[in-house]
């Protein structure tokens, strides 16, 4: 059942991914100069770079930012590495990274646009001012408007560039990471409790509201399955910690669950990523963010969990879509590299490591939890990991995506999310393997 060759590669790649991910955390050694905007940025301790590579859309994108979403996903993988640590010293190192992240995040919550606007427009060269967001927008950043920011500079300064806003999934994902840390034996410090309270309270206030989705596409201020499900995940997992099983908390969960159910299309037997749905073809409604939502929310059972047959049907449809759409997937007998959605044009709209690894991870979770078909689920997870292996260079570097035709890595290099996704899938695989072995005894 188990390929020892694949298992050895996964172990090596997990170590490479952990090392690469760690280089993006507290990268205080780096200096980022955006000369056209008068910025000199040195990452602060506790920040997490979406990518430590310095680029100016020439051709790689500039991801030298602390994204709330990406950083929370990275920190969840930090917790997994903390649990898997070989000794106390290694465990303490990963735990230290998480504690630094909590302190950094709290300082972000205390920012105020009125004192942070600065001289951005004056310092920016005339031909580049079109990329700046309006000063009045920055001046209003405090409280919930600040928490709805998708990203900050890693030195804690406010992002001055035009981007798709608001986004309501960041605090929910950060809360999920903190709750995961506590479940793994992390210290319940006063700072962590304060951050959790801020993030869960924000999630409660904004549960089910329209916002920009995980792909950060402009003009898509809609109801996103991804956002709603990670909000539900944060409230579900945080319920016992907060001690709020009734009242407003329960009402928000019920509201989210009902809204998520409306994403299911009985006619087409798929979960639709956005409401209202757009596109003339059913294929245009398929979006791998649905898989990321189930993976990141990690509901233990029931509707919108990995055990939901609607999720399985949607995953199958997404895999079939990209098997047809991408030339790199047209080799017989191989599992597909998944993209985001059919009409994606961002850097060519290729295969994404985070979406493909989430799909693998979902199969491993099914193999861990299922009473039947454990081996079949496990094998399908391994088939997707084999595809990732085929499209990963010998040095283990993971970009954001690969070209749909050539398989060449493209978009952001050394994407922290990609490395975190690999760590997460590898850990899920080991948990599934342990469950299969226990079932055979």
- Residue 329 is predicted with a pLDDT of 97
- Residue 282 is predicted with a pLDDT of 87
% of the chain at pLDDT higher than 90:
88
Chain CA centroid to CA 323, Å: 23
Q: Among 181-190, 327-336, 350-359, which stretch is predicted with the lowest mean pLDDT?
A: 327-336
Q: Among 196-200, 238-242, 276-280, 306-310, which stretch is predicted with the lowest mean pLDDT?
A: 276-280
- Residue 242 is predicted with a pLDDT of 86
Q: Among 42-56, 113-127, 261-275, 353-367, which stretch is predicted with the lowest mean pLDDT?
A: 113-127
| pLDDT of 1 above 60 | no
How far apart (Å, rounded) are the C-alpha atoms in residues 92 and 74?
Answer: 17
Closest CA to 327 of 402, 268, 255, 404: 404
161 forms beta bridges with: 132
Retrieve residue 97's tokens: 């990274």
Q: Note the pLDDT tens digit of each residue in 69-99.
A: 999 999 999 999 999 999 999 999 999 999 9
Going along the chain from its start, the domains and CATH numbers come out as 4-440 (1.50.10.10)
| pLDDT of 331 above 90 | no
Retrieve residue 136's tokens: 């009045």
Residues in the chain: 441
- Residue 119 is predicted with a pLDDT of 65
- Residue 181 is predicted with a pLDDT of 98
How far apart (Å, rounded) are the C-alpha atoms in residues 407 and 330?
Answer: 12
Retrieve residue 16's tokens: 């490479």
How far apart (Å, rounded) are the C-alpha atoms in residues 359 and 388?
Answer: 11
Retrieve residue 115's tokens: 């004192």
| pLDDT of 251 above 70 | yes
287: phi then psi, degrees, rounded to nearest 5: -150, 130
Q: Note the pLDDT tens digit of each residue in 284-297.
A: 999 999 999 999 99
CA dihedral in degrees (346, 350, 353, 355; nearest 10)?
80
How far apart (Å, rounded) are the C-alpha atoms in residues 36 and 2?
Answer: 53
291 forms beta bridges with: none
- Residue 235 is predicted with a pLDDT of 96
- Residue 280 is predicted with a pLDDT of 72
How far apart (Å, rounded) are the C-alpha atoms in residues 319 and 321?
Answer: 5
The arithmetic mean of pLDDT across residues 149-156, rounded, is: 97
């Amino acid at each position: 059942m188990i390929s020892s060759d694949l298992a050895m590669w996964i172990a090596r790649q997990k170590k490479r991914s952990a090392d690469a991910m760690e280089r993006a955390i507290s990268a205080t050694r780096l200096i980022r100069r955006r000369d056209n905007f008068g910025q000199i940025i040195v990452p602060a301790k506790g920040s997490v770079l979406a990518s430590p590579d310095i680029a100016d859309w020439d051709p790689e994108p500039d991801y030298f930012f602390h994204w709330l979403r990406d950083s929370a996903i990275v920190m969840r993988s930090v917790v997994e590495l903390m649990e898997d640590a070989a000794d106390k010293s290694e465990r303490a190192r990963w735990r230290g990274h998480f504690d630094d992240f909590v302190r950094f995040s709290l300082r972000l919550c205390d920012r105020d646009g009125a004192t942070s606007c600065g001289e951005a427009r004056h310092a920016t060269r005339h031909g580049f001012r079109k990329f700046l967001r309006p000063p009045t927008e920055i001046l209003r950043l405090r409280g919930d408007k600040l928490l709805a920011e998708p990203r900050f500079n890693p030195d804690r300064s406010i992002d001055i560039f035009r981007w798709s806003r608001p986004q309501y999934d960041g605090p929910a994902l950060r809360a999920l990471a903190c709750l995961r840390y506590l479940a793994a034996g992390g210290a319940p410090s006063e700072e962590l409790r304060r951050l959790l309270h801020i993030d869960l309270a924000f999630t409660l206030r904004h549960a089910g509201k329209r916002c920009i989705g995980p792909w950060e596409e402009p003009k898509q201020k809609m109801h996103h399955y991804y956002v709603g499900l990670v909000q539900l995940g944060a409230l579900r997992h945080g319920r016992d910690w907060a001690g709020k099983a009734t009242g407003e908390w329960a009402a928000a969960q019920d509201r989210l669950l009902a809204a998520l159910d409306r994403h299911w299309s009985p006619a087409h037997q798929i979960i639709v990523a956005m409401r209202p749905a757009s596109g003339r073809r059913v294929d245009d409604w398929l979006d791998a963010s649905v898989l990321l939502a189930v993976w990141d929310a990690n509901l233990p059972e029931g509707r919108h969990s990995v055990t939901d047959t609607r999720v399985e049907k949607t995953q199958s449809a997404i895999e079939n879509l990209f098997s047809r759409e991408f030339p790199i997937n047209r080799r017989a007998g191989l599992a597909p590299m998944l993209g985001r959605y059919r009409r994606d044009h961002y850097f060519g709209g290729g295969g994404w490591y985070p979406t493909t690894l989430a799909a693998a991870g979902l199969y491993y979770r099914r193999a861990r939890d299922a009473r039947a078909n454990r081996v079949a689920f496990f094998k399908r997870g391994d088939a997707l990991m084999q595809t990732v292996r085929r499209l990963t260079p010998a040095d283990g570097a993971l970009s954001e995506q690969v070209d749909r035709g050539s398989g060449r890595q493209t978009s952001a290099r050394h994407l922290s999310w990609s490395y975190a996704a690999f760590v997460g899938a590898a850990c899920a695989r080991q948990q599934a393997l342990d469950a299969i072995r226990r079932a055979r005894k």
